[in-house]
Amino acid sequence: MPDPASNLDPDLRARLLQEARTPWRGLRRALWVALFASAGVGGATMALRVSSGELVPLSDLGIQFLALVVSGSLLWFDRNRSEN
């Protein structure tokens, strides 16, 4: 009886194996990008508030900076690590 995997296109087989190793990768990456963008917009808003002379609590700035660093780290660690 022939092996069913031998009938698959090699490119399709490689993509399926990659998806099996890292499931939901596209959805995760979209979430990390959305979180990073949100933290960036929040940081820019706070920077504009500071530049206009408004008092912004240091804890709020710290939270925004931490959110930016964490979401950037998530993007970095979820990058494509090819064996090339």
Q: Which residue's structure tokens are 């998806």?
A: 19
Q: Which residue's structure tokens are 């990073």?
A: 36
Q: Is the pLDDT of residue 5 over 60?
A: no
Q: Is residue 17 part of a domain?
A: no
Judging by beta carbons within 10 Å of its beta carbon (0-12, 13-18, 19+), is residue 42 exposed, middle or buried?
middle
For residue 82, the enclosing domain spans: 24-84
Q: What is the pLDDT of residue 4?
A: 61
Q: Mean pLDDT across the chain, nearest whole number?
A: 87
Q: What is the pLDDT of residue 3?
A: 62
Please give the model's pTM, rounded to 2 decimal places: 0.73
Count of structural domains, the chain: 1
Q: Which residue's structure tokens are 């490119």?
A: 11
Q: What is the pLDDT of residue 21?
A: 82
Q: Is residue 49 part of a domain?
A: yes
